[in-house]
């Protein structure tokens, strides 16, 4: 990019729903900013170079694609973006970036919390406390437990590092099988889950939702798990066949599940999973810490600075795959 082009302030359409993004004054120092909600996106896109999709999961870009003739770059304040991609965008020259990595540590901490909760029987302790009952029990050590982490991107690797720090043995599952990885003892092909899950105490889901991973954990995979095993899902609800999971939990085919994501979301009132004592459900909140909003804003600000300078952007999504491919 020439010096003249660098000095030209790009036009950034900012799509929001209610709250505006953080660091807005700093963004305005670098660009001409057009704030818009979904119903005004077509006008905001007219002549815009950049779309900052702060309203992470809005379908408004797809609905207003004809107005995006000058668009060069889209940034989304979310990591999982497969549901936002569409044929015209995929075929275009528009660069697409996401917020991969910003929430990885927080999600990994949440996954570790789920493991500790289940190993130390915390849910039962809470119920006994509510009943004012002093009932001594024994619990399981986390050290030496084996976990298979499905998804070997930034979230899966943070999970592996934290789990290993408490003495767990960690393998991964990704698109291809391979050995000799810095974070995992080995990486299996995620398509082989039914043949390998019997070796693990925890099956932890941290994969993006793609055509290959949708419904990955089905009745066959659940039936192949150890009866003492737990499923932990901090990825996407649609990675799992919900009905098959409910049946496996009810029958004792697996011991328990800890779910930050489910399908559908929110889980309907009266669904069997709500009342199961061997299930922990949280409302898709594993990445949402007190400072995560500002962290998301900082990532876009850094990328906008790079864009103006003609430097490579962070977190460029392979639009065919639906996620940021490993370098």
Q: Report how far apart, in Å, the C-alpha atoms of 214 and of each of 82, 208, 217, 242, 244 are.
A: 11, 9, 8, 12, 14
Which is nearest to 284 in space by CA: 16, 62, 52, 79? Answer: 79
236 is known as an active-site residue: yes
- Side-chain half-sphere exposure of 246, counting CA atoms within 13 A: 14
Residue with tokens 């003609």: 310
Residue with tokens 């950034």: 12
Q: Which of the residues 9, 72, 284, 306 is marked catalytic?
A: 284
Q: Is 11 helix (H, G, I), strand (E, B) or coil?
A: strand
Q: What is the DSSP pairing of strand 186-189 with strand 178-179?
A: antiparallel
Query: Which tokens is 51 given?
Result: 């779309």
Q: Which of the residues 88, 265, 277, 311 is marked catalytic?
A: 265
Query: Which tokens is 229 given?
Result: 């095993």
| Contact status, residue 117 vs residue 258, Cβ threshold 8 Å | yes
Strand 178-179: give its sheet, edge to edge.
178-179, 186-189, 169-174, 146-150, 202-205, 230-233, 256-259, 279-281
Q: What beta strand segments (E) does 80-224 contain? A: 95-97, 146-150, 169-174, 178-179, 186-189, 202-205
Compute how many other C-beta atoms are within 10 angstroms of the C-beta atom of residue 307: 25
Between CA 110 and CA 270 the distance in angstroms is 26
Q: Is 47 helix (H, G, I), strand (E, B) or coil?
A: coil
Q: Which of the residues 23, 157, 188, 236 is marked catalytic?
A: 236
Cβ neighbors of 306 (< 8 A, separation 6 or more) are 312, 313, 314
Looking at the chain, the number of H-run helices and the number of E-run strands are: 12, 13
Catalytic residues: 236, 265, 284
């Amino acid at each position: 990019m020439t010096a003249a082009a660098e000095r030209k302030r790009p036009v950034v359409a900012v799509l929001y729903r209610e709250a505006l993004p953080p660091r807005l004054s700093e963004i305005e120092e670098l660009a001409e900013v057009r704030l818009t909600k979904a119903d005004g996106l077509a006008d905001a896109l007219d002549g815009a170079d950049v779309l900052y999709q702060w309203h992470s999961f809005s379908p408004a870009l797809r609905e207003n694609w004809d107005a995006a003739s000058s668009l060069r770059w889209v940034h989304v304040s979310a990591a999982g973006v497969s549901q936002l991609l569409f044929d015209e965008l995929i075929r275009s020259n528009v660069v697409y970036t996401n917020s991969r990595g910003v929430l990885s540590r927080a999600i990994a901490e949440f996954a570790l919390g789920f493991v500790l909760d289940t190993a130390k029987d915390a849910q039962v302790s809470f119920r006994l406390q509510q009943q004012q009952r002093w009932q001594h029990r024994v619990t399981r050590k986390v050290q030496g437990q084996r976990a298979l982490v499905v998804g070997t991107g930034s979230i899966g690797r943070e999970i592996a590092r934290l789990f290993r720090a408490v003495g767990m043995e960690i393998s991964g599952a990704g698109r291809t099988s391979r050995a000799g990885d810095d974070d995992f003892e080995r990486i299996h092909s995620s398509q082989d889950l039914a043949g390998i899950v019997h070796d693990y105490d925890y099956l932890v889901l941290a994969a993006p939702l793609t055509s290959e991973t949708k419904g990955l954990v089905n009745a066959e995979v659940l039936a192949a798990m150890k009866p003492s095993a737990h499923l932990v899902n901090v990825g996407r609800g649609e990675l799992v066949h919900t009905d098959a999971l409910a049946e496996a939990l009810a029958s004792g085919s697996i011991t328990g599940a800890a779910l930050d994501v489910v399908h559908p979301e929110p889980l309907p009132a009266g669904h069997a999973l709500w009342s199961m004592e061997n299930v922990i459900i949280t409302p898709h909140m594993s990445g949402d810490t007190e400072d995560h909003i500002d962290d998301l804003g900082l990532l876009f600000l850094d990328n906008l600075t790079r864009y103006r300078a003609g430097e490579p952007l962070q977190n460029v999504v392979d639009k065919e795959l639906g996620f940021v491919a490993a370098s």
